[in-house]
Every structure is written in structure tokens, then in C-alpha cells.
Amino acid sequence: MNQPVEALVEAPADSPAEVEAETFERGPEAVVAALVRRARTAMDAFADAAQARVDEAVTALAWSLYKPEHAAALARMAVEDTGIGNAPDKVVKNQRKTFGTLRDLLRAKSVGVIEELPHLGLVKYAKPVGVVGAVTPSTNPAATPVNKAMMALKGRNAIVIAPSPAGLATTTRTVELMRAELDKIGAPADLVQVLPPPADKASTRALMAACDLVVVTGSQNNVREAYRSGTPAIGVGAGNVPVIVDASADLDEAAERIARSKCFDNATSCSSENSVVILDDVYDEALAALERAGGYLANAAEKEAIRGTLWVNGKLNRAVIAKDARVFAAACGLGGRAPDAKFFLVEESGVGRAHPFSDEKLALVLTVYRAASFDDALERVRGILEFKGKGHSVGIHTREMAHARRLAEELDTARVLVNMAHTFGNGGGFDSGLNFTLSMGCGTWQGNSISENLNYRHFLNITHLAVPIPEDRPSEEALFGAHWEKYGR
């Protein structure tokens, strides 16, 4: 279990990273062109694959990461490479996301006829979108590449992955493991490739221009580059999740869920709670519940120490984000009980640039707001999202479903989670109807082309076969009658 990941599988002698690195002196465009040619050749060889064969390939990719020794080794490698998160939680993420995504994919049709609507005279046929260029983040250098590759291959596409420079080594090894599993089942290994070192901005831009679909998770600069590339693109937005603790909530259950979610992988997830808005009626009791769940409430001086450490020149300090609680406490100079806490609570009253605690923190720091009423809480959440994270998601712990419905009706957000540990429900859960993914679309609210969880359907072109049906032509009176009666002809 603890052997280095390099020992788990040997990279094929002709892996793209090795072959193309030799020619990188010709420029990134030439390297990318060679990768895309290989991808198209692999797609041609896979073009006639039946659904069962496609699902074999998808399962092979899943096993390449779900396999316990692979999940553990890549988790350790990711933390060593990036300095972000913690290995035990990354093992859980590697396996849980992969298992859940495989569940979703094996239940879906993606080859040939995928839907028939006789009453409309329509039959829908699934076709590949082509070569996918996938940009992946340093927060999940193993889980996200496998997740996207599984979805891409479900549609009989090929994929070329552009890793974050910080996660390049982990992503490269992850791709080697995927290729080895494809080779084991006799499927073309070049269905999955990775940009060779240095995998920099120039090569990523070249990939965006050369592929048929760009899918970006991570940096918003990369999302904007994708939309400017001239290639059809799917980008996802930044998170900054606010969660309401309503007066009717079970406070200890809510605190346990929030703590478990906030602490997972040291708060690297875009779905991690960043702010909690507590109703005044239960404010003190809810704070006490959060402390019982492992939170440490910073005093005014400690709050300033955290602020001065977490942000440097207005930017998050990479030396302290996504670190273990004890490491973070030491960096901030927090003494007493703080080093033994699981996460840190900071009370705040403002939102916006002058109040950085209202922003996404990527650290074990949870901002706490007091709200006089549910209306006040809703407006506080609205203000937080307007500042950062609009379109992403919101949570609420409540027994009043009418309050949850108001959030869904009134806020510009793609997801409202009720009584859930947000990190474990937002990107798909076994007790959540949202599909498993590592990429959450935020709609036009955040400049994205989708407002749902990225899934295999985004990797399909659909041909619609239409045949004649009995005429469905209503009368003029049926369509215009109400208008004529109210406004005249």
C-alpha cells in the first residue's frame, strides 16, 4: 500500500509524454498537433465500439484510480507535489468520486439510439464530440483527470489533459495508469493522453485551439482563455459557499455536517463551506455546537492574526492554504486550544473587498455571520454570492422547506442543498440526486455555459431522426384568444 506510485506501473515506452517531449523544441503547436493526431487515430479505432465495450473502457479507467494502492499512492504524490490538502482525504476523494461517477455512467446509454419518443416521431442517436482538451486543477490532480476521462470515453471521444503545473507529475502518472488499464483490455491507449512538460500556458492554449471541445476546471483565467479560444468550451466557476443555519435546524447535526464538510481535504473543494449565516434566535447555541464539532472561535486579535497570515498583498498565501489545522494555527501564531482544533471560526459583519473573510479561503477558516431574521439571512447570502461565488451553490440546515424553496426561487445559484454536508452532496452523493462530478457549472451568472454538474451528456453530439406524426396544429383562437380578449386585435 505504501510503495511509491512509480512502482505501480511502468509507463509505455511510446507514451505521449516521452515521445512528444523529444519534439517540444518544435514549439507547443507542433507537439499538440501530434497528440491530437494520435487521439483521432485512437478514436477511429474505437468508433464502432458497442455500449458494452465502451462501458468496459470506462470501467478500466475507473479501476486505474479506484484500485486501493493506486488511490493511496496518487493521493500521497498529489500532496507532495502541490502541498495542498491531505493524503487520507484525497484517497477518499479518489475512490468515492470515481465509484460514484462509474455508478452514474454504467446506468446511462451513450451509443447508438439513446432515446425514442414515438408520440413526437423522434429518435435520438448519440455521436462523439471529438477530441476533448481538458484543463485540470492542482487541487485534484488525480481525481479530476480520471473523472473527465471517464465521461469523455463514455461518448467514444479521446481526451488530452492539460494539468496544472503544480500537479503535472501526479497527473502524468495518473494518465499512465489509465493508459495501462486501457492497454490491458485491448483498447487504444491514446484515447487518454497528457501534455508533456512543461505543460505551460502556451501548450494549454495550443490544445484549446486544436481540439474539438475544451472543458476547464480550476483557474478562472483558464476558463476565460477557453471561451476566447474559438473552440466550443465548457467552463466552471469559483465557489464561495454560504450556508444558513436556520432557527429550526438540529444544531448538533448541522454543526457535525458543516465540520465534516469544511475539514475534508483541508477545505480544498470549491464546494466547501466558506461562510455560515446563523439566525439570531439560535446564534449562541449554534456557535457552541460548532465548537463541540471541533471549531475554535477566534477572538479579535486572533482574527487579525489570521487575516495577516492568510492574505499577503491581497492574495491568498499559498504557504498556508489547505494546510492541516495545527500547521495553520502555528503559522498564525494561535496558542491555547487553537492547535487542537479541527477548524477556525471568525465572526464577521461585512461583505466585499474590504472584508476578505467574505471571500473563498481555501483554508480551514469558516466565517460566521449573525442574521436577525430569515429575510436578513437570505440577503446576507445574496450579498456574499454577489461578491464571490454567484451561480455556484448555497446550503441551508432547516426543518422549514419553505425557507429552502425561497433560496431556490430568489437566489442566482445553480444548487441549493438542504441538510447536507455540502462538500459531499454538491458534486454528487449517494444520498443526493445530483450526479457525481468534480466540475460544477455556475451558469451565465458566472460566465459559464452550463448551470449543472458536468456529466457525460456534455460529451455527446445528438442526431435527431424525425418522422411525420399526426398534425399538431392548434387554432388561432386557442393561441391568440386570451390575448385578443385582454388587449384586442
Q: Give catalytic residue positions.
A: 270
Phi, psi dihedrals of residue 158, rounded to the nearest 5°: -105, 160
Q: Based on the number of CB atoms within 10 Å of its own CB, is 467 exposed (0-12), middle (13-18) or buried (19 or more)?
A: exposed
Q: Are 326 and 371 in contact (CB under 8 A)?
A: no
Gap between the Cα atoms of 320 and 326, Å rounded: 11
3-state secondary structure 342-382: CEEEEECCCCECCEHHHCCCCCCEEEEEEECCHHHHHHHHH
Give the residue from 381, 363, 359, 385 showing the smallest Cα distance to 371.
Answer: 381
Gap between the Cα atoms of 46 and 148, Å rounded: 18
DSSP state of 138: T
Q: Are 138 and 220 in contact (CB under 8 A)?
A: no
Phi, psi dihedrals of residue 38, rounded to the nearest 5°: -65, -40
Strands laid side by side in the 158-162 sheet: 192-194, 158-162, 131-135, 213-216, 233-235
DSSP state of 229: S
Cell of 365: 477558516
Q: How many residues does the chain have?
A: 489
**Which amino acid is present at 188?**
P
How far, in Å, are 99, 270, 308 from residue 297 at the CA level? 36, 23, 17
